Amino acid sequence: MKLNQWMKAGIGLGFAALWSCPTLAALTADQNFGIEIKGTLQSEDDRDLGTRSGGDVNGLGLDLRPWAYGQWGDWSAYAMGQLVTATDTIQTDTLQESNVTSDSTAKGREQKKNYLAMREFWVGYSGFTPYPGEILKFGRQRLRNDDGEWKDTNIEALNWDFDTTLLRAHAGVAERFSEYRTDLTELSASDKDVLHAYGDVSYQWTPGQWVGLRAHHTHDSGSLPHTGEAIDDSDKSSTGDLTWLGLEADSDAYNHDNLNNINYWGSLTFMSGNRDSIGSNVVNGQTVAGDKSSGHVNGWATDLGLRVHLDPNWQVGGAYSRASRDYEQNGLQSNRSTWTGTRARVARFGEAYQAEMANTQTASLFASWQLRDEYDASLIYHKFWRVDGNQGIGTNTLDAVNTTFDPENPTDVTSISSLPLADGDKDLGQEMDLVVSKYFKQGLLPAALSQSLDEPSALVRLRAGVFKPGSAYGSEVDSYMHRAFIDVIWRF
């Protein structure tokens, strides 16, 4: 039986479970069920930086997320479905991968305007220790850490959480087997056959001051195409085993309720492992696999930030991130967090550009404002550079291309490839972001759902970024690109 048949069966069973809430209520007095309704208006211009026709997105989407949660003694269970309908292929989900596009050449990876999905379905057991913040979960679940730079995704996992006043720890294994969406019937090449093993521990050594260690290992057991074999987006370009070890310290800086006059965060991560990779060539208009290369890779990255309370409502701060030329993130990150000091989870490396920690350095300045639990806003400036001016920068949501035409017939396209950055030029560009939110109180949700739901309350939010490409992109690209969202979230 094919995987997508299992996926369809899982979606059907999941929605059946969600819509049988009276049965759930009969089993336990501690039940919760409901639906989260999210409307998203997206405006996006020049994702391709003007290098080809298209690249614009303008549309309105409706995202319905029915969910059910039940608890029976030490046992619990949770499921959340998803129904999305839209006028264009917009991004209603902030966890959506940047490599999900409407024109992918990978079979089974073309995003549709309308789809059904299962976001989460897991069973939990919390009887190993007497602490209320301890639980073992098995199934598709939300994995998230405070800075979003290691984990923030929905994935199949066996995960153990331990959260107390003085000590926090997490450990588990995870592997993505399906997207559980009716439109994306195949995994991305970067997710296929990749096993993740991870763990972290942090200790509050004095009130409000945390230090921690974290580790992550990925084992990619996939295979690379043979040299000369025709390839597309569904084929892997690299495999290998990579390990990340990190140190972190912060002043509870990701907790918007803390009253510290000065907040800080800092992390230092080392990466090491072995990687096999292939290049690509265009032969007679067809992309084929190039030569295979193997070797040991090492890299490091850091993210530092400082935030100052000017008064109870206003904060200002700065942040700096640097990742070495061979560093890459583990693939489970969103790079979204509450780093500006408000309740809103903001993209660490630009709402429009959405850079990754891969041969990049980013300097950011920001001001944030919040009024009680009703409003908040963040205004952010980013500057981006390459660390090595002759090395690539990984992936982001830009889709600029370089098109080659047949010199004998200028109307025939011989190849389309990603736009190369100018050799030796490090200037990637700069960006201004604005994130503004209005919140509506709707009562308390179960503590066990804090990781599953993106937001703690109903809201209206604007997320907007304007990116100006730097000289590394050359002089043929457009001067600006923008990406803006208006999200409305309500719960019943």
For residue 355, what pLDDT is reported? Answer: 93
Share of the chain above pLDDT 90, in %: 63
3-class secondary-structure state, position 473 = helix
- C-beta of residue 301 within 8 angstroms of C-beta of residue 119: no
Provide DSSP, 17-42.
Answer: HHT-HHHHHHH-SS-EEEEEEEEEEE
**Quick check: 60 pLDDT over 80?**
yes
Mean pLDDT across 286-306 = 89
pLDDT of residue 474: 87
Euclidean distance between CA atoms 12 and 154, whole angstroms:
19
Helix (H, G, I), strand (E, B) or coil at 225: coil
Is the confidence at residue 14, as pLDDT, over 50? Answer: no
What are the tens digits of pLDDT across the range 220-254?
998 888 777 777 778 888 898 999 999 999 999 99
Indicate the pLDDT class of residue 10, thresholds 50, 70 and 90: very low
| Amino acid at position 407, single letter | P
Q: Which amino acid makes up residue 356?
A: E
Q: Does domain 48-54+71-78+110-437+444-451+469-479 have CATH number 2.40.160.100?
A: yes
Residue 323 has pLDDT above 70, yes or no: yes
- For residue 85, give both structure tokens: 């309908």
Say yes or no to pLDDT of 174 above 90.
yes
* pLDDT of amino acid 443: 55
| Confidence band, pLDDT 50/70/90 cuts, at residue 479 | confident
d(CA 462, CA 464): 6
Supply the pLDDT for residue 446. Answer: 62
pLDDT score recorded for residue 352: 94
| CA-to-CA separations, 436 to 309, 344, 355, 364, 418, in angstroms, rounded | 19, 8, 21, 18, 34
What pLDDT, on a 0 to 100 scale, did the predictor assign at position 99? 46
User: For residues 272 and 319, what is the distance between their CA atoms, to the nearest angstrom?
Assistant: 25
Per-residue pLDDT at 20 exceeds 50: no
Helix (H) / strand (E) element for 482: namely: strand 481-491
Q: Does 54 score more than 80 pLDDT?
A: no
> Cβ(462)–Cβ(435) under 8 Å?
yes
pLDDT digits (tens, 9 = 90+) for 372-417: 889 999 999 999 999 999 998 987 767 777 665 556 665 555 556 6
Give 74's DSSP letter: T
- Model confidence band, residue 42 (pLDDT cutoffs 50, 70, 90): very high
Tell whether pTM > 0.95.
Answer: no
Q: Which residues, in sequence order, are bridge partners of residue 61?
A: 40, 86
Q: How many helices (H) and strands (E) does the chain have?
A: 2, 22
Q: Residue ranges of the domains in the chain?
A: 48-54+71-78+110-437+444-451+469-479
Between the two ends of the chain, the Cα-to-Cα distance in Å is 37
Q: Check residue 260 and give its pLDDT.
A: 92
**pLDDT one-digit tens code per residue, 97-136:** 644 554 556 678 888 999 999 999 999 999 999 998 899 9
15 sits in which H/E element: helix 3-18
